[in-house]
């Protein structure tokens, strides 16, 4: 599959010029302009190279820690966590997989719109799995 770096670069330029303030909260799920990325880094899809991501923690007014999601089912492991949430606009249940292995810092400028909220119980498991991923004493 061919990468669309030139198309993404045009969207990235516009995205970088966005000046916004948004009050993100842990557990919220937003569409983000994820981009066209290198190798096995998770890329976005569609015209905006977008993908949903879960807010883990707002770091400051410009940055937050997040985990991208996929609708492709992956077995639960140290790297993936399947869960469900209600899409607030479509009023349907979405089955998703949190791609814990792709945990990263995102700019607020990438945020498009809120689509849902992860349950407290799922979020607690996701946090524990995230800690385990970055803890060098865990296998």
DSSP 30: E
* Residue 21 included in any domain: yes
Which is more confidently placed, 78 or 139? 78
* Residue 59 included in any domain: yes
The whole domain housing 21 covers 5-134
pLDDT in tens, 85-124: 999 888 899 999 999 999 999 999 999 999 999 999 999 9
* Residue 139 included in any domain: no
For Cα atoms 74, 56, 24, give the angle at the middle one, nearest 5 degrees: 125
**Whole-number CA gyration radius for the chain:** 15
* Residue 44 included in any domain: yes
pLDDT in tens, 50-69: 999 999 999 999 999 999 99
* Residue 63 included in any domain: yes
* Residue 103 included in any domain: yes
* Residue 88 included in any domain: yes
pTM above 0.85, yes or no: yes
What does pLDDT average to over the chain?
Answer: 92
Domain count of the fold of the chain: 1
Please give the pLDDT value at position 38: 80
Q: Over 70: is that where the pLDDT of 7 sits?
A: yes
For residue 111, the domain's CATH number is: 2.30.30.110
* Distances in whole angstroms, Cα of residue 12 to Cα of each of 4, 37, 110, 119: 12, 12, 9, 31
Banded model confidence at residue 1, pLDDT cuts 50, 70, 90:
low
* Residue 94 included in any domain: yes
Express as a percent the part of the chain with pLDDT over 70: 99
* Distances in whole angstroms, Cα of residue 33 to Cα of each of 15, 18, 64, 66: 8, 12, 14, 13
Which is more confidently placed, 20 or 102? 102
């Amino acid at each position: 599959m061919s990468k669309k770096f030139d198309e993404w670069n045009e969207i990235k330029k516009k995205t970088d010029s966005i000046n916004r303030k948004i009050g993100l909260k842990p557990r919220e799920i937003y569409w983000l302009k994820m981009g066209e990325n290198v190798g096995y880094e998770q890329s976005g899809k569609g015209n905006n190279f977008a993908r949903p991501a879960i807010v883990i923690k707002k770091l400051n007014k410009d940055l937050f820690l997040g985990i991208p999601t996929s609708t492709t089912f992956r077995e639960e492991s140290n790297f993936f966590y399947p869960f469900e949430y209600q899409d607030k606009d479509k009023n349907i249940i979405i089955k998703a997989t949190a791609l814990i292995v792709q945990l990263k810092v995102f700019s607020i400028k990438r945020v498009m719109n809120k689509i849902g909220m992860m349950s407290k119980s799922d979020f607690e498991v996701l946090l524990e799995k995230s800690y385990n991923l970055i803890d060098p004493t865990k296998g």
